Amino acid sequence: MNDLLTIDDLVVEHRSPGRPVVRAVAGASLSVRPGEVVGLVGESGCGKSTLARAVCGLNPITAGSIDFDGQPVTPLGLRRRRLTGIQMVFQDPYASLNPRRRVGDQIADGLRAARDTAASPADLLERVGLPRDFAGRHPHEFSGGQRQRIAIARALAARPRLLIGDEPISALDASAQAQVARLMRDLAVESGAGLLFISHDLSVVRLIADRIAVMYLGKIVEVGDTAEVWANPRHPYTKALLAAIPQPDGLGVLPAELPGDVPDPANPPAGCRFSPRCPLVMDVCRDKEPDFGPVACWLHEPK
């Protein structure tokens, strides 16, 4: 099946006056097929949001390309973006929903964008597991999990072919996290849309994703089928992320044997970006960047 989304060697830089250029995405490649759920994981600051925003046309591309449905994605206005069939669900549903408007009216915006006259906001609320009569209420009347369901209903109303969740569960209570993640997966798959699900929480991504892509300092360092990556992580960074999961004080915390913080993307290390923190570092790692997939590590160079 053809890809719905193809990201090829994407570079996205942030430039602000008087500050060094931040290469937040530094040559990342990734694809999503229709009906496929791809989980994008990595620590805070590794460039996940910048990548997602570039896919939506919200961040200009410095180099490389993004194709959606065979067409290049370029920075677009909101109206055009709706028409392209990409919808995003953000981390904080309270910030992304308008507090002054009834939720039914906000969902109706999406239905209008898709020129959908058959469905009603109440139908969408039902699809995300909420009572139909919530349509007349305002966002502040709901819990975080309910608000995120409303944001998902609004996104779905526009009939996206690609749904992007940018840390959509990280602001929710633990009890709501897996439910909301599963809901996004079920609704995307049911409608044949692709889902790019961004999270620093590998254990939730494991529950819903067909494939996992691991990002480190602007690069995808490993991509593979979820079960395979989970059972046999190959990049030392993926291993470290997985090893961090059982820690009781939170997920995504690197284990003690991995030294140092994530380096500054404005001043990345030479060679492999992970080399200063890698327990298996070799000489070649400090000299040459491993610019290949599916595992960008000199220990796993393709033959």
Judged by the rule CB under 6 A, the positions of this chain that interact with ligand ATP are 14, 16, 22, 24, 42, 44-50, 167, 265
State how beta strands 86-89 and 22-32 pair: unpaired
Least distance from C-beta 155 to ligand ATP, angstroms? 19
For 79, phi and psi rounded to 5 degrees?
-65, -45
The one-letter code for the residue type at 265 is P
Distance of CA 91 to the CA centre of its chain: 10
Nearer Cβ to ligand ATP (86/156): 86
Nearer Cβ to ligand ATP (45/276): 45
CA distance 230 to 224: 9
Q: Tell me if residue 264 falls in helix, strand or coil.
A: coil
CA distance 77 to 34: 24
Least distance from C-beta 7 to ligand ATP, angstroms? 14
Least distance from C-beta 92 to ligand ATP, angstroms? 11
- Token pair, residue 255, equals 């284990």
Nearer Cβ to ligand ATP (35/144): 144
Least distance from C-beta 198 to ligand ATP, angstroms? 7
The enclosing H or E element of 208 equals: helix 202-208
CA distance 85 to 226: 26
Can you name the residues that pair with 7 across neighbouring β-strands?
A: 30, 66
Nearer Cβ to ligand ATP (71/267): 267
Nearer Cβ to ligand ATP (36/167): 167
CA distance 45 to 19: 17
Nearer Cβ to ligand ATP (48/211): 48
Q: Tell me if residue 260 falls in helix, strand or coil.
A: coil
The enclosing H or E element of 88 equals: strand 86-89
Least distance from C-beta 24 to ligand ATP, angstroms? 3
- Token pair, residue 137, equals 């209420």
Least distance from C-beta 27 to ligand ATP, angstroms? 14
Nearer Cβ to ligand ATP (14/273): 14
Least distance from C-beta 211 to ligand ATP, angstroms? 18
The one-letter code for the residue type at 302 is P
Distance in Å from the first CA to the final CA of the chain = 26
